[in-house]
Amino acid sequence: MPELPEVETVRRGLIPPLEGHVLTHVEARRDTLRFPIPKDFGKRLTGRKVLAVRRRAKYLLVDFDDGQVMILHLGMSGRVTMSYGRPNAYEKHDHLIFESASGWVLRFNDARRFGLVDLTTIADWPNHPLIKDIGPEPLTDAFDGAVLAVAIKGRRSPIKIVILDQTVVAGIGNIYASEALHKAKIAPERPAADLSRADCDRLAVAIKQVLERAIEVGGSTLRDHVQPNGELGYFQHEWSVYGRTGEPCRICTAAIEQIVQTGRTTFFCRTCQPA
């Protein structure tokens, strides 16, 4: 579920209950997610005040008043749920609990446990092994067609696979890779290095537009919870190709097709995205 827009939506939802508030109780209910949860996780964060909730690629970063930074990745199935006051009961797969002096209780729930949490510091987080090699943030001026052209130089893999590479551009996942390529009218199988400079410009713009629109729609669903049930918000109703095999392209009415690339499904319109 969580690609950049979903993580950004969660980030925005976490600001009111967390920023400027002390965590009165923090608890890890198991030892391991994708990696071991840091020792004394709860003890190290209980009593700390949250200074900011930030995002880098698909990672959430929570800054604390003692210089600690919590890194949280939602993996495939991770979600954050909020309740005002303690819930009657924890749900299955509620792994991390954060009680805030604001009155809100946050729970990180992740059935598949591909998510991860780690603790680092304000000085060290950019060099964290999971973060240091990540490419430019797509919604900033650090990313454009020129930057993309350099990043994909010499890459013979299909462009769909290459934009999923987090060192090329941060935050693209399987849904938005297909969506951006359709918007840019580029076939997913084309070797990345064969893209023209004009292709790169169109693709960079399409990536920005698709992600921005998804954030806009996802963000509008927030109120007293962070994405109910971890659902995608309303952007799924606007998907152009993802999950629409056999349905008519919204641009040309041709049937949407699907292929498998490196084990993952890709959706496209052969008319709009000629090989």
Partner DNA sequence: CGGCGGTCCTGTCAGC
Partner DNA sequence: TGCTGACAGGACCGCC
| Number of other CB atoms surrounding residue 68 within 10 Å | 17
Draw the binding track, 131-170, toward DNA (x: CB under 7 A; -: no contact): -----------------------xxxx---xx-x-x----
Dump the DSSP string for 108-155.
EEESS---EEEEEETTTGGG-TTTTT----TTSTT-SHHHHHHHTTT-
Q: Is 99 a catalytic residue?
A: no
Q: Is 3 a catalytic residue?
A: yes
* Shortest Cβ 32–DNA spacing (Å): 8
Interface with DNA, residue 213, by CB under 7 A: no
Q: How many residues bind DNA (CB under 7 A)?
A: 37
| Extended strands (E) in the chain | 23-28, 50-56, 59-64, 68-73, 78-84, 94-100, 104-110, 116-121, 257-261, 264-268
* Chain residues 112-131 in contact with DNA, contact rule CB under 7 A: 112-114, 130
For residues 151, 156, 158 and 162, what is the CA-based torsion angle, rounded to 10 degrees?
Answer: -30
Draw the binding track, 58-87, toward DNA (x: CB under 7 A; -: no contact): x--------------x-xxx----------
* Shortest Cβ 44–DNA spacing (Å): 23
Marked catalytic residue, from 29, 185, 250, 264 = 264
> Contacting DNA (CB under 7 A), which of 92, 123, 141, 223?
92
Interface with DNA, residue 250, by CB under 7 A: no
For residue 144, CA distances in Å to 115, 207, 216, 259 come to 29, 10, 21, 28
- Give SS3 for 79: strand
Interface with DNA, residue 111, by CB under 7 A: yes
Q: Is 126 a catalytic residue?
A: no
Q: Is 58 a catalytic residue?
A: yes
- State CA 37 to chain mean position distance: 20
Marked catalytic residue, from 2, 5, 17, 138 = 2
Give the whole-angstrom CA distance, residue 170 versus residue 12. Answer: 18
- If the CB atoms of residues 49 and 128 are measured against DNA, the closer one turns out to be 128
| Helix axis angle, 174-184 to 197-219, nearest 10° | 130
Q: Which residues are catalytic?
A: 2-3, 58, 264
Residues engaged in binding DNA (CB under 7 A): 1-3, 6, 34, 57-58, 73, 75-77, 92-93, 111-114, 130, 154-157, 161-162, 164, 166, 173-175, 192, 231-232, 236, 262-265
